[in-house]
Amino acid sequence: MLVGIVDVGSNTIRMNIYRIENQTFENLLSKKEAVGLVAYIKKKRYTKEGMDALKDCLLSFKDTAQALHLDGFHVFATASLRNIENTEEVLAYIQKTCDVSIDLLSGEEEARLSFKGALSKIQFENGYYIDTGGGSTEIVRFKKKEPMDPISLPIGSLNLYQKYVDQIIPNKKEASAIRKEIENQFTDCIKKKKKVDNLTITGGSMRTIRSLLIRLDEMNPESYDIDSNTIHSLVDELLNRPSKEVIRLFLKVKADRVHTLFTGLLIVDTLLDLTQAKHIQVSMFGVREGYVLERILK
């Protein structure tokens, strides 16, 4: 059986196509569009232009699914549709124009499914699992690989960029304000939980940070493990480089994340400080895989 899973995010909309056999699955193809839905929010509501951007992307993905004769086509949304006031209007518009029903995940569901999707690949017995997105960040403390108190906070690389950054790369003053916002959002959450040595982090920002470190020869292309000091040093180095130089570097790594890579890096760096963690495992799995496990395989 071939199934398409579409994840409607605040920054990107991605479709993964999975082959499912005997209660196991394999990702065969991934296609994404950097729609940047959060840019279409005015007064906490999606504009008609934003709804049309979502519609056009989903129709394109649906065409691909039909051309490949997929056995199933499922669409879910996270903070991209949670953090607005006209959610029902958007859902109804997509149902009418695309004949697609969007499964809207709560923050807690997103955190739980993301952890479930990554669980088989997590190296550590204890730690935090973190999913950093464009419009939200999910955090799950786990003990003996059992999840405890999954939460979701409405803070991500894209909405931080829009709120604090005037140009493309944050200056030192803007970076300081971003750090303060992250600390304000996460400190209470972290204080209620024990500090740990290890973080497992997924999401586009973390994967791009890994690609950046590989580009800078700071880590082996085969590795998914990062020392916390490597992240701290990277932030310090980039803050002291000319912004044009940083932009050129980011463009070489991932052009469609040039504006959100630094804010995503600041989220990771600040969470390392708050948790006092020493190591990061970069996870290539997350909420889409968890969705397959729980909603498709059941």
pLDDT tens-digit readout, 243-284: 999 999 999 999 999 999 999 999 999 999 999 999 999 999
CB atoms within 10 A of CB 256: 16
Alpha-carbon distance 209 to 28, whole Å?
A: 24
- Specify the CATH class of 108-282 in words: alpha beta
Stretch(es) of the chain classified as CATH 3.30.420.150: 108-282
- Assign domain 2-104 to its CATH superfamily: ATPase, nucleotide binding domain (3.30.420.40)
* pTM (predicted TM-score): 0.91
Phi, psi of 182 (to 5 degrees): -65, -45
HSE of 8, CA atoms in CB hemisphere, 13 A: 31
- How open is the CA angle 14-227-232, to the nearest 5 degrees? 85
Stretch(es) of the chain classified as CATH 3.30.420.40: 2-104
pLDDT of 242: 97
* Sequence-distant (≥ 6) Cβ neighbours of residue 248 within 8 angstroms: none
pLDDT of 81: 97
The position carrying tokens 């920054």 is 11
Alpha-carbon distance 36 to 53, whole Å?
A: 9
- How open is the CA angle 51-132-92, to the nearest 5 degrees? 20
Q: Do 279 and 227 touch, CB atoms closer than 8 A?
A: yes
Using 50 as the pLDDT threshold, list the residues of the chain that sit under it: none
pLDDT of 159: 93
SS3 breakdown of the chain: % helix, strand, coil, rounded to 5? 50, 25, 25
Closest CA to 139 of 84, 76, 193: 193
pLDDT tens-digit readout, 40-79: 999 999 999 999 999 999 999 999 999 999 999 999 999 9
pLDDT of 194: 65
Alpha-carbon distance 219 to 227, whole Å?
A: 10
pLDDT of 298: 77
Q: Do 175 and 193 touch, CB atoms closer than 8 A?
A: no
* CA separation, residue 132 to residues 4, 9, 13, 196, 277 (Å): 23, 11, 15, 18, 16
Containing H/E element for 209?
Answer: helix 204-215
pLDDT above 90 as % of the chain: 91
